């Protein structure tokens, strides 16, 4: 019987886990400031996830620092097609994707952030 040396398959590293957040104690901010750059959305402190309270008015602001951008909150009928702000009141807790609503080039599809509405 001839044995063959079989190279062990490389171990895959576990995927990086998103930081778990306790939604009961997370700090919320009803003033959501989005900065649009080529090709990313983030807040003033670099954050890409924003936490707000359900049933309370939210002010969503957009400032484009590079290129022209808009922001749309999927599932909440909220949209800004240019720099400025709008107000809305999310009634239902959940996670909502925010995407660029103005085509801005090859990285357009990468312009995302998340709005998390908590009770």
Please identify every stretch of the chain with a pLDDT value under 50, giving residue numbers as ranges: 3, 8-9, 13-17
Number of domains, the chain? 1
- Strand, coil or helix: what is 109? helix
Q: Note whether residue 48 is domain-resident.
A: yes
Q: Note whether residue 10 is domain-resident.
A: no
Q: Tens digit of pLDDT for each residue in 88-101?
A: 999 999 999 999 99
Alpha-carbon span 104 to 108, nearest angstrom: 5
Q: Note whether residue 22 is domain-resident.
A: no
Single pTM value for the model? 0.80
Residue 102 belongs to domain with CATH number: 2.60.40.420
37: containing domain: 31-118
Q: Note whether residue 85 is domain-resident.
A: yes
Q: Note whether residue 25 is domain-resident.
A: no
Q: Note whether residue 96 is domain-resident.
A: yes
Q: Note whether residue 6 is domain-resident.
A: no
């Amino acid at each position: 019987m001839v044995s063959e040396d079989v190279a062990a398959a490389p171990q895959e590293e576990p995927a990086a886990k998103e930081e778990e957040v306790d939604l009961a104690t997370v700090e919320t901010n009803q003033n959501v400031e989005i900065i649009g750059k080529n090709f990313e959305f983030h807040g003033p402190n670099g954050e890409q996830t924003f936490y707000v309270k359900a049933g309370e008015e939210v002010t969503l602001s957009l400032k484009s620092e590079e290129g022209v951008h808009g922001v749309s909150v999927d599932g909440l009928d909220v949209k800004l097609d240019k720099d400025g702000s709008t107000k809305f009141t999310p009634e239902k807790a959940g996670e909502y994707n925010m995407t660029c609503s103005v085509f801005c080039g090859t990285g357009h599809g990468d312009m995302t952030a998340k709005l998390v509405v908590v009770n």
